[in-house]
Amino acid sequence: MRRPFQHLVTAALAVGLAAVAVPAQAQTTYPDGGDRFKRVAYFIQWGIYARNFHVKDVDTSGAAAKLTHINYAFGNVGADGTCVSADPWADWQRPVSAEESVDGVADQPGQALNGNLNQFRKLKGKHPGLKVLISLGGWTGSKYFSDAVLTPDSRSKLAASCVGLWLKGDLPGLPAGTGAGVFDGIDLDWEWPGSEGNTGNVVRPEDKRNFTLFAAELRRQMKEYDPKSQLTAFLPAAAAKIDSGFEVRDVFRSLDFATIQGYDLHGSWENRTGHNGNLFTDRKDPNPVKYSVDTTVGDYLSRGAPARKIVVGVPAYGQGWTGVKSTGDGLYEQATGPAPATWAPGTEDYKILVNKPGKRYRDLRTGTQWLYDGNEFWSYDDPATLLEKAAYIRLKGLGGSMMWSIDQDDAKASLTSALHKVLR
């Protein structure tokens, strides 16, 4: 028998979302006066290179008009304990051609601010309600977070450097304030306080408390500079990582909202197929730990996170395996390795997967879709899957959705549009 709330979500899809009453708690008016639901998407800094995806594409696809926030990934925390750019050329030095520019006007010789930051400034001019946040860290940029937040002095130093570089816009080599007004806030993406992340990361037991203290100090300095600035964070799915790294109730007091990991619940690093971002737990899942978005949401709620501040992460990509032999649908079967893909083995963009041959399967009970062609297995979200997740977010009274990452959606912003249809 389905759990009552799970049944409510699937029933909402069956009868049409417009006919479903929205709980009172989902009708909260946010303190910043913005949309009821946050619709966040990450824009990757390096996407302008091989992927040939530019800030202009967020506009021409129609996505910009359907988002409330863009998180720009990533800024780094340097070995000296200060905020630094991971790629100044992409951020503010690269001259953008007329063809790649949001307004069709090329950057001019001698212009102070170029690159992605100038394009975000233009994008916000076209979409005044859109907020852009700089995201700090990421999988490969979190090595020095632990050192940088170790003491009161180091926390103050890091916070001041982040406010100075990204909010005040004091970019190296340019007049003071050249980048002011581009960013509306800061997103903390430390992966992970108190537990293993990328190889070589500094990890300490004290990270858990120090993350709370740093968030409070950063919030204080940000509000001192700009009371309207927003502070958010990206938080993990695994309960063990939550408990080793985050004082949930205290951290959320400093955050406007937090985006929680709703993908990579299973992936091609494992030798058995599974779901990338299943909404509900699958009772047939043979794994000892059974992940789901609903389980993660429950973990944060039970630890004191306010529902309206929980923004659920959704993937615009799939996890894939090869060498999967099955007479059925390929789910939970052994694999020989990651499936070949465009940018990295085992992960592929939605815009490519949607046209990939093979038989597709859907399970409304778990909020999943997958593709299996007799050899390759791909777990990914499509617009229908995201409608179900959006219904869950709305009916649960949560804060909204976050997509990683916007360049992986198709040219019509099909995934972004599905979320916008429900979460507004």
Residue 140 pLDDT = 96
Residue 354 lies in a domain: no
Q: Enumerate residue ranges in the chain where pLDDT < 50.
A: 1-2, 15, 17-33
Cβ-contact 145, 198 below 8 angstroms: no
Residue 138 lies in a domain: yes
Residue 33 pLDDT = 44
CB atoms within 10 A of CB 292: 22
Residue 389 lies in a domain: yes
Residue 3 pLDDT = 61
Is 99 annotated in the active site?
no
Residue 295 lies in a domain: no
Residue 84 lies in a domain: yes
Domain that holds residue 248: 23-260+306-316+383-422
Q: Using CA atoms, how far apart are residues 336 and 391, in angstroms rounded to an integer?
A: 36
Per-residue pLDDT tens digits for 13-27? 554 544 443 443 444
Amino acid 285 reads D
Q: Using CA atoms, how far apart are residues 224 and 222, in angstroms rounded to an integer?
A: 5
Residue 148 lies in a domain: yes
Residue 404 lies in a domain: yes
Total of domains in the chain: 1
Residue 18 lies in a domain: no
Residue 6 pLDDT = 73
**DSSP labels for 170-191?**
--TTS-TTTTTTS-SEEEEEES
Asked whether the bond before 61 is cis by omega within 30 degrees of 0, the reply is no
Annotated catalytic residue, options 191, 247, 348, 388: 191
- pTM, to two decimals: 0.94
Phi, psi of 310, deg, nearest 5: -95, 115
Q: Using CA atoms, how far apart are residues 335 and 324, in angstroms rounded to an integer?
A: 5
- 283: which 2 tokens? 């009772």
Please report, for the domain that includes residue 219, its CATH number. Answer: 3.20.20.80
- For the chain, count helices (H), then strands (E): 13, 15
Residue 12 pLDDT = 56
Residue 294 pLDDT = 98
